[in-house]
């Protein structure tokens, strides 16, 4: 199974990244904002949805957004660095073309909102893969 390397420069591209990272688990301590670099990054264990659906695999992956001007967090305790979040979706809304906001929505109602100059996101699998215990299920 090949490693994914994806680039998102518009909403359609980001929908692909969102679909491939749905149900990824993220440790709170594995995400952060480098203000001087204008980059928000996170490491995750993503469920490999692009496989046949019968094979249950998770892969370690990194996702980062460039040209980030501000980060707002709602419903997530950033001090709980060992806390684990489940990523549900990532969306982009244009406010003043090409600037806008990227929302990372997590199970339980937590959201991270990135104010971006323009959309520029990269997802890359980092090589490690292992058998998942179960396939994520949604109501």
Q: Which positions of the chain have pLDDT values less than 70?
A: 1, 52-54, 138-139
Taking the C-alpha atoms of residue 26 and residue 46, their distance in angstroms, rounded to an integer, is 9
* Residue 53, pLDDT score: 61
Q: What is the pTM for the complete model shown?
A: 0.93
* Residue 130, pLDDT score: 87
Q: Where are the domains of the chain?
A: 5-131
Taking the C-alpha atoms of residue 41 and residue 52, their distance in angstroms, rounded to an integer, is 29
HSE (side-chain half, CA atoms, 13 Å) at 58: 16
Task: Show the CA angle centred on residue 104, arms to residues 26 and 20, nearest 5°.
Answer: 70
Taking the C-alpha atoms of residue 102 and residue 105, their distance in angstroms, rounded to an integer, is 10
* Residue 129, pLDDT score: 87
> Which residues, 6+ apart, have CB-to-CB distance to 106 below 8 Å?
26, 75, 76, 85, 86, 87, 88, 112
User: Which tokens sit at 94?
Assistant: 């244009």
Q: How many CB atoms lie within 10 A of CB 54?
A: 6
Q: Identify any residues that bridge with 17 across adjacent strands, giving them in sequence order.
A: none
* Residue 137, pLDDT score: 79
């Amino acid at each position: 199974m090949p490693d994914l390397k994806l680039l998102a420069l518009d909403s359609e591209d980001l929908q692909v990244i969102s679909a491939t990272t749905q149900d990824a688990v993220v440790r709170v301590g594995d995400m952060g904002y480098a203000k001087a670099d204008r980059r928000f990054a996170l490491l995750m264990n993503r469920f490999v949805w692009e496989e046949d659906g019968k094979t249950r695999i998770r892969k370690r992956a990194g996702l980062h957004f460039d040209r980030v001007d501000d980060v707002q967090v709602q419903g997530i305790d950033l001090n709980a660095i060992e806390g684990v979040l489940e990523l549900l979706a990532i969306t982009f809304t244009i406010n003043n073309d090409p600037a806008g906001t990227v929302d990372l929505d997590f199970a339980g109602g937590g959201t991270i909102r990135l104010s971006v100059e323009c959309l520029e996101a990269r997802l890359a699998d980092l090589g490690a893969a292992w058998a998942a215990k179960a396939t994520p299920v949604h109501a």
